[in-house]
Copies of this chain bind each other. A is one copy, B any other.
Amino acid sequence: METVAERAGVSRALVSLVMNNSPKVSDAKREAVLRAADELGYRPNLHARNLAQKRTETLGMIINDIHNPFFAEVVYGVEATAEEHGFDVLILNGGRDAERERRAVETHLQFQVEALILVGPKLSDDDILRASYVVPTVVVAAGRDHPGVDTITTDDERGATLAVQHLVDLGHTDIVHIDGDTNISSHARSRGYEKAMRSAGLEPRVLTGGDDEADAEAAVVELAETDSMPTAIFAFNDLIAAGALSTLEAAGLLVPDDVSVVGYDNTFIAELSHMSLTAVNQPRHQMGQLAIRTILERIEDGRTEPARIDLVPTLAVRGSSAPPRTA
Contacts and interface: CB of A to CB of B under 8 A. Distances in A.
Contacts of A95: 76, 79
Contacts of A69: 67, 69
Interface residues of A, number: 49
B274 A213 contact: no
Interface in A239-262: 242-243, 245-247, 249-250
A72 B79 contact: no
A69 B213 CA distance: 13
B273 A245 contact: yes
A5 interface: no
B51 A48 contact: yes
B273 A275 contact: no
A109 B56 CA distance: 15
Interface in A264-290: 268-269, 271-275
A67 B110 CA distance: 28
Given A242-B272, A242-B274, A245-B274, A112 B46 contact: yes
> Most chain-B Cβ atoms within 10 A of its Cβ — which of A112, A245, A274?
A274
A88 B111 CA distance: 12
A245 B272 CA distance: 8
A124 interface: no
A51 B47 contact: yes
Nearest to A78: B93
A247 B274 CA distance: 9
A75 B93 contact: yes
A45 interface: yes
Interface string A89-126: 01111010000000000110111100000000000000
A246 B274 contact: yes
Contact of A272 (B46, B107, B246, B273): B246
A109 B92 CA distance: 18
Nearest to A242: B272
A147 interface: no
8 contacts: A41-B133, A43-B106, A47-B56, A66-B75, A66-B76, A75-B93, A79-B93, A245-B274
